[in-house]
Structure 1
Amino acid sequence: MALSPEALQEAVDLVREHGTIIAASRASGIKRSTLQDRVFKAKAAGLVSPVQPIPGFDISRYSSTVRNGQVVSESIQQKPAEAMGRFNVPDGHYVKGVSALVDAEGNVKQQWLKTGVDPNALDIVEAVRDVISDYAGASHLIPEPDVSHDNTFTVIPLPDWHIGLMAWARETGENYDLKIARETIMQAMVSVINQSPPSSHGIILGLGDMLHFDGYEPVTSRSGNFLDADGRYPKVLRTALDMVRSTVDLALQKFRTVEVRILPGNHDDQSAVALSLAFSLFYENNDRVTFDDSPSRFWWKRIGKVFLGATHGDKTKMRDLPLVMAADNPQDWADSSYRRIYCGHIHHESAIEEGGVLVTSLRSPVAKDAYHSFSKYRSGRSVYSDTYDVSGRMASSVKVNL
C-alpha cells in the first residue's frame, strides 16, 4: 500500500530533527530500513525541497532560473557535510591515500587524507644542493685555442645519455653501469671533438634524458614505469655533472667560446633544470662559457644564415616541428637559408625533410636495458658533431660509433 505524502514528510522531518536516520529511528521507534526507504521515496516524490539538502549532506552549489521576476526553478549540488572543508596538503608532501568513515546509510562521517613526503619536492632539492655546493665558481681556466675560423660553428648534440641505466649481460648481451657509461661515452666524446674541424664557437646541446631517472625512486616521472638503475640519485646526478662538465672542458680546448643548453626529456624533467643550475654556477667566472637556461622544451638558434632547433621529441611529432619552428620564429625563418631540427627520444637515426627543414633523430650512446632488450628495439650507438658555415650550409659532420 502506498504511503501518504504526510507519512513520507514525517520521515523527512524526523531525520532532519535528529540529524541522522539512526538517531531518528531510535527516537521514533521506526525501523532504520523503513525510515531510510521513506526518506528516499519522499525525495523521489518531490517532498524534499531542491533548495534543502538531504539529511547528512550540505549544499555545495545553488542555482536558479528567473523569468519575469519570478523564480521558476531551483537546483542544488550536494556533498557530504564532512567533505565541505578544504584540506591543504603541507608543503613538500603529496596525497598518497584517502580513508573514510561512513555510517550505516553510507554517509561520510569522517575523512582522512594520508600524505607522504614528496621526494621530488624535498629530497631532490637537497640532493642538488649537496652536489652543486662543490661547483660554484670552481671552473678552472682552460687556455683559449688559436682559432681563426669565425665563419663556422660546431654543434655537439648529447642525445639520451640515460646516466644511471643498468644492464646485466645475461639479460641484455652486455653489462652497463655508471662506471662503464663514464668510460665509454667520454672516450667517444674525446674522439668526436678531436675529429671536429676548428670553429670559433661550439654548442653543447643536451637533447633530453641525460639522466635515466628523475629522483630517489627509479621510475619514469610521468608513467611510473620501473627502471633498471645503478646507484642512488645523488651519485647518478654527480656522475652526470662530471660527464657533461668534462665535455664542456673538451669543447673549450677546441673552440674559443662554448654555449650550453640542457633540454629536458621524459626521464629527467627536474634533473635537467638541476644540471643547468649547477653548470651556470660552476662556470659563472668563465667568460668563454654561456648557458641558455630557458625553461622551454624547445631550443632555437640562428647564426648567420643557419637556423637550428632542438627538442627531446616526446611531445611533438618530427613532421610537425618545422611548422613550430616557423610559427615561433618568423624573423629567424625569413633570415635563414639552411634549417635543421635535432631530436632524441627514439634512440635510432631517422630523418625527414618537411618544408625545407631537415628534422633528424639521433642514436643514443648507451647500452640496451632489459626492457629494450626483451622488446623489438634495436639500434646502434653513436656520438655526433656537426659543423656549419654561417653562409648557410653544413660544412662537416662527424659520427663516432661505440
Structure 2
Amino acid sequence: MAVPDVGLLKYCETERQKEVVQAFADGGSLRAAARSLGVTRQTAQDVVRLVRKRAVAAGYSPDAQMNTPFPEGISLKRISQRRRADGELLDYWQIGEPGKEQQEALLREFCAGLASSLAPSPSTPAPPVDTDQMLSAIVIGDGHLGMLAFGEETLGEDFNIEIATADLRAAIDYLVHCAPASSEGLLVNVGDFLHMDDTSNKTPASGHALDVDLSHHRLMRIAGVLLRYAIDKMLTKFATVRVVNAAGNHDPHSARALSMFLEGIYENHARVIVEPTKGKFYFLEFGNNLIGITHGDRIPANRLAGMMTQHAAEAWGRTKYRRWWVGHIHHKRFQEMEMGCSIESFNTLAAGDAWHASMGYSAERGIEMITLHKEFGQVGRTNASLALVRAFAGGELAA
C-alpha cells in the first residue's frame, strides 16, 4: 500500500507529477489526492507509482528503510540482506551502479583520456591510384589482444600482447604491400579484437574466467595505437579508408570505446571514415556489392541471409554480389546460401588459449584481404598465413 511521502517530490520530473505527489501527501490517501485534483484514483496511483519507481532506482524508499539516496548518476542495482534463521532482518545494504547516462559519460571520459596524449591525425593528400573501381578489405579475424597462453599448457605457441602486436603489424604491412592502389580501403574487425572487456577479466555474458596478459586500461591504449597504425598504413595505398569495428562477445563495450577513440583521432581527416559501433550489424554497399558484417555470436548463419533481405532491402535490390563477413568461430568457413548471398568466417592470428585447448579446438592462423570490383564482384584475394606474415616481417620474402 502506498504511503504518502513528500520526499518523493525530489524525484518528480514534471509539474503534474509534483501536484499529484503533494496532493497525496496533503490528503493522506490516493482517493483524497484524486478528488482534490479532479482525476481518477487510478491516474493518481499510476503517477505515484512512476515517481516511487524512479526514487527506488536512486536508492530512496523509506518503506524499505532506504533513506540514503545514491549520488547523482548512480542507480540501484540490487539490495542484499542478512537474516536470522527465523527470518528476522539483521542488516541490509544497497549496491549501486552508474546509470545509462553516467555510463555514457564515463565512456566518453575514458576515450578522452585515451586520446589525450595522441594528437588528432591531420588530413593528408591521397596517393596516386590506378582505379576508382576497386575496394580492398583487410579482414581481421578475432584478435583476442590481451590473451595469455603458454605453449606447454595448450600444446601450441605462447601468446601475449607483444606477440599479438608484432604479428598484426606485420600482417598489415604485408597486405598493404600486396594491395592494388585503388580508391577505397576497408579495415574490418569482425569482433573480439580484445580478449577482455573490463577489469573483471571475465566474458561479459557468461562470466567465464579469462587468462590475461595486462591491465584493461593498458590494453585499450595499445589497441587504439595498433588500429591507428593499420589505418595510417592503409592511407599510403588507398584514397579513402573506411573502418568497421564490430563488437564481439568478449569486448561489446570496449569495441564501442575504440570506435569513439578513432572517431576523435580522425575527426579532421577527410580520407578516413570511422563507422560508429552502435549495434551488432553493419551493411556497406560498393557498386554491385553488398557487405554485411557482424561478429556472429548471437545469430545462426541460416538466418543472416533473411536478415539482410529485411534490413537492407533496397541495397539488396540494387546489388548482385551479397556477402556476410563474420567471426567468432576462429575457423575458415564459406557457405553459399540459396537466397542469393554467401556467409564467410575467418581465421585468426591469435594462438589458442587454455580453454580452447582443453576443448580440443584448433584452427589455422592467418589473415585475408579481399578485393572487390564495383561491377564484377570479387576479383582478388590475398591469403596470408601466420608463417608468411612472420617471414615477410623478418625480411625473408622479396619486396
Considering fraction of residues, name the structure with more strand: 1
1:8 match? none
Deviation for aligned residue 1:136: 4.9
1:113 match? 94
Q: Is the 8 A contact 1:92 1:121 kept in 2?
A: no
Q: CA separation in 2, counterparts of 1:343 and 1:86?
A: 49
Deviation for aligned residue 1:232: 0.9
Q: CA separation in 2, counterparts of 1:203 and 1:121?
A: 28
Q: CA separation in 1, counterparts of 2:79 and 2:315?
A: 52
SS in 1 for 2:370: strand
Q: Is the 8 A contact 2:309 2:316 kept in 1?
A: yes
Q: Is the 8 A contact 1:198 1:255 kept in 2?
A: yes
Q: What is the identity percentage for the equivalent residue pairs of Structure 1 and Structure 2?
A: 30
Matched AA of 1:218: N
Q: CA separation in 2, counterparts of 1:221 and 1:112?
A: 25
1:264 match? 247
1:148 match? 130
In structure 1, the gaps of 5 or more residues are 1-60, 62-80
1:38 match? none
Question: Is 1:396 aligned to 2:380, yes or no?
Answer: yes
TM-score, normalised by the number of residues in structure 2: 0.74
Over 3 Å counting, the alpha-carbon distance change for 1:91 and 1:228 in structure 2 is: farther
**Structure 1, residues 302-324: CA drift from partner, whole Å, max 9, x if none?**
11111111100011111210110
1:312 match? 295
Q: Is the 8 A contact 1:166 1:177 kept in 2?
A: yes
Q: CA separation in 2, counterparts of 1:105 and 1:380?
A: 60
Deviation for aligned residue 1:120: 7.4
1:132 match? 115
SS in 1 for 2:131: coil
Considering fraction of residues, name the structure with more helix: 2
Provide the aligned C-alpha RMSD in A. 2.8
Matched AA of 1:113: Q
Over 3 Å counting, the alpha-carbon distance change for 1:320 and 1:99 in structure 2 is: closer
Counterparts of 1:88-237 in structure 2 under 5 Å?
90=71, 98-100=79-81, 106=87, 108=89, 111-115=92-96, 127-137=110-120, 139-172=121-154, 173-237=156-220
1:376 match? 360
Over 3 Å counting, the alpha-carbon distance change for 1:288 and 1:399 in structure 2 is: same
SS in 1 for 2:336: strand
SS in 1 for 2:157: coil
SS in 2 for 1:253: coil
Matched AA of 2:87: G
Q: CA separation in 2, counterparts of 1:171 and 1:93?
A: 43
Deviation for aligned residue 1:87: 8.2
Question: Is 1:352 aligned to 2:315, yes or no?
Answer: no
2:348 match? 364
SS in 1 for 2:291: strand
**Structure 1, residues 267-322: CA drift from partner, whole Å, max 9, x if none?**
11111111111111111121111111151211101111111111000111112101
Q: CA separation in 2, counterparts of 1:146 and 1:346?
A: 38
**Structure 1, residues 309-355: CA drift from partner, whole Å, max 9, x if none?**
11000111112101100100111101101111100001011111111
Q: Is the 8 A contact 1:135 1:278 kept in 2?
A: no
Q: CA separation in 1, counterparts of 2:164 and 2:328?
A: 18
Q: CA separation in 1, counterparts of 2:340 and 2:98?
A: 50
Q: Is the 8 A contact 1:136 1:281 kept in 2?
A: no
Q: Is the 8 A contact 1:305 1:392 kept in 2?
A: yes
Deviation for aligned residue 1:360: 0.5
Deviation for aligned residue 1:197: 2.1
Over 3 Å counting, the alpha-carbon distance change for 1:328 and 1:82 in structure 2 is: same
Over 3 Å counting, the alpha-carbon distance change for 1:106 and 1:290 in structure 2 is: same
**Structure 1, residues 175-215: CA drift from partner, whole Å, max 9, x if none?**
11111111112112211221122221011111111111011
SS in 1 for 2:180: coil
SS in 1 for 2:132: coil
SS in 2 for 1:254: coil
Over 3 Å counting, the alpha-carbon distance change for 1:350 and 1:92 in structure 2 is: farther
**Structure 1, residues 156-184: CA drift from partner, whole Å, max 9, x if none?**
11221111111112212321111111111
Matched AA of 1:171: E
1:249 match? 232
